């Protein structure tokens, strides 16, 4: 069974950079038709997609975060990572990593998240 596990600091200071890693087990990140994504959820709020990365390094980002986010993948470690710069209190959230299935159907390109990590709480505070 595929499992994803987020790791990284639980507390970061304003203006600093958040770096999170997702370790994939029970499957490979080097698989076609699947992207690897980051999604976050601020306390008491809804879900926000941050961005997705393919195993060859292709990325796409939420336009609202694009200027501050960089995603990458390390196939040798079966991991993918996220850097989020210029943090503010508004970036306090539970950060989830997830597998994103992308495919082409009669409706055009479709995608959805089929496996999720348990999430890690990141607090931005001095």
Partner 1 sequence: SYDLTQPPSVSVSPGQTARITCSGDAFPKKYAFWYQQKSGQAPVLVIYEDNKRPSGIPERFSASTSGALATLTISGAQVEDEADYYCYSTDSSGNHTFGTGTKVTVL
Residue 74 beta carbon to partner 1: minimum distance, rounded to whole angstroms: 23
∠ CA 85-32-51, nearest 5°, is 20
Q: Which residue is it, tokens 């959230």? A: 93
Q: Of 32 and 107, which has the nearer Cβ to partner 1?
A: 107
Q: Of 78 and 111, which has the nearer Cβ to partner 1?
A: 111
**How far, CA to CA in Å, does 6 sit from each of 39, 45, 122?**
11, 20, 11
| Structural contact between residues 3 and 114, judged by C-beta atoms closer than 8 angstroms | no
Q: Of 55 and 96, which has the nearer Cβ to partner 1?
A: 96
Cα radius of gyration rounded to whole Å, the chain: 14
Residue 6 beta carbon to partner 1: minimum distance, rounded to whole angstroms: 10
Q: Of 10 and 108, which has the nearer Cβ to partner 1?
A: 108
Question: Pick from 51, 53, 69, 71: which is nearest to 61 by CA?
Answer: 51
Residue 104 beta carbon to partner 1: minimum distance, rounded to whole angstroms: 12
Q: Which residues lie near partner 1 (CB under 8 A)?
A: 37, 46-49, 52, 60, 62-64, 96, 105, 107-114, 116-119
């Amino acid at each position: 069974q595929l499992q994803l596990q987020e790791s990284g600091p639980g507390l970061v200071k304003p203006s600093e950079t958040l770096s999170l890693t997702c370790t994939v087990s029970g499957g490979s990140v080097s698989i076609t038709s699947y992207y690897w994504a980051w999604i976050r959820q601020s306390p008491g709020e809804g879900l926000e997609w941050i961005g997705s990365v393919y195993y060859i390094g292709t990325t796409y980002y939420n336009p609202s975060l694009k200027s501050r986010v960089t995603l990458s993948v390390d196939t040798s470690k079966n991991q993918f990572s996220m850097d989020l710069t210029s943090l503010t209190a508004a970036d306090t959230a539970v950060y989830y990593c997830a597998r994103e299935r992308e495919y082409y159907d009669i409706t055009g390109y479709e995608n959805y998240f089929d496996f999720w990590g348990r999430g890690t709480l990141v607090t931005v505070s001095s």
